Amino acid sequence: MEDVSRSVLSQYLPECICNNMDAFIRTVMTLPAHPHLSQHVVPFLESNKWITSPSILSHLHTVLYIAFGYHLLFLVSMWFIFPPIAGYRLSWNTKDANRNKRELVIQSSLRLVSWIQSLIVLYLSFEAILYNNSVHPQSNSYDRIFRSDPYNVQVCVFAIGYFLWDIYISLVYSTMPFVLHGVVSTVVYTIGLKPYINYYAGIFLMFELSNPFLNFRWLGIKYMPQLTNDPASRTLAAKICNVVQLVNNIILIVVFFAARICWGFYQFFRLCKDFYAVRNDPHFLPLDTSIIVVGNLSLDVLNLIWMSSMLAVAARIIKKGGKVQDK
């Protein structure tokens, strides 16, 4: 497997960012497995043929570490970071005085974890795409379905770790549709780690491009001064925050449309063409292919629904004179 010690993004991002990100990713990917896991759990899974992929088995401990790391970040956010911030926020806005502080803290912590994981997987995904474009520019359908590379392996490992945590946290704090989203995403990226369509791992995580703007919008609405019909709310700070939110909302809609609609449907069409081209290959996996196609198509349709909802919100903002903080 090729060396991934040097980031292919170093020519596009500041060296300090690449060095720190690469050091963090390298540290996580090289953490040793717990002896109980390597000596008992992995052999048990392998001997009973519950998991037969060497790639999945060799990265199982890293996936669990990542899931635990995200939960640790969530707990730190919920116990230490957001309680004082939420308490202060609720104290200076009488409109929100009766809001459930605990719920605000929990949802804020979830958004922070989502924001951070988006930045991590986007970094990894851009690396994977640039790597394949430079090293394998003439890849064919066989390569894209059956070949794997170290950068997309990292994408899969971090994605599975996050989605495993997402399943648990959605069971506790969210609704069943979010649980199902986590389950489907975990299954799809586990298939990618087999490896099977490993090439597309980073490509489809480009969907995450809209998440930082979406999370910023939510946090801005909850914590920034609100511009309302009350004359007392029309402070300079509220007006500045309103402009910031408007700009963020515009970027969110543009990025969402570009990444999840245009890019998403194009890559789904490309993936289906690749599946069709290798359908007679002995390595072709009909069940895995069906799961991936149905899962991706469902997500694409869901993205269309979300896009229409975003446009409806944008229309309401325009009707209200550009006030976004009261959404």
Comparing 13-22, 25-34, 101-110, 224-233, the range with the smallest average pLDDT is 224-233
Q: Is residue 283 part of a domain?
A: yes
Closest Cα partner for 233 from 95, 117, 130, 134? 95
The residue whose two tokens read 């072709």 is 284
- Residue 306 confidence (pLDDT) above 70: yes
Q: Render pLDDT for 212-235 as a digit per residue (tens, 0 to 9).
A: 999 999 999 999 988 877 787 788
Q: Look at the chain and report how many structural domains it folds into.
A: 1
Q: Tell me what pLDDT residue 164 has.
A: 98
Q: Tell me what pLDDT residue 96 has.
A: 54
The whole-number average pLDDT for the span 16-36 is: 96
Q: Tell me what pLDDT residue 326 has.
A: 47
Euclidean distance between CA atoms 152 and 290, whole angstroms: 21
Q: Is residue 179 part of a domain?
A: yes
- Residue 325 confidence (pLDDT) above 70: no
Determine contact, residues 151/29, Cβ cutoff 8 Å: no
Q: Tell me what pLDDT residue 59 has.
A: 98
Q: How confident is the model at residue 101 (pLDDT cuts 50, 70, 90)?
A: confident
- Token readout for 309 is 């909802």
| Residue 221 burial by Cβ neighbours in a 10 Å radius (0-12, 13-18, 19+) | middle
Q: Is residue 9 part of a domain?
A: no
Q: Is residue 324 part of a domain?
A: no
Whole-structure pTM value = 0.94
Q: Tell me what pLDDT residue 309 has.
A: 92
Q: Is residue 21 part of a domain?
A: yes
Q: Tell me what pLDDT residue 1 has.
A: 47
- Residue 146 confidence (pLDDT) above 60: yes
The whole-number average pLDDT for the span 100-127 is: 96
Q: Is residue 2 part of a domain?
A: no
Residue 251's domain spans which residues? Answer: 15-319
- Token readout for 243 is 């402009």
Q: Is residue 326 part of a domain?
A: no
- Residue 54 confidence (pLDDT) above 90: yes
Q: Is residue 10 part of a domain?
A: no
Q: Render pLDDT for 39-49 as a digit per residue (tens, 0 to 9).
A: 999 999 999 99
DSSP letters, 35-100, are HHIIIIIHHHHHHTTS---HHHHHHHHHHHHHHHHHHHHHHHIIIIIHHHHHHHHHHT-GGGTTS-
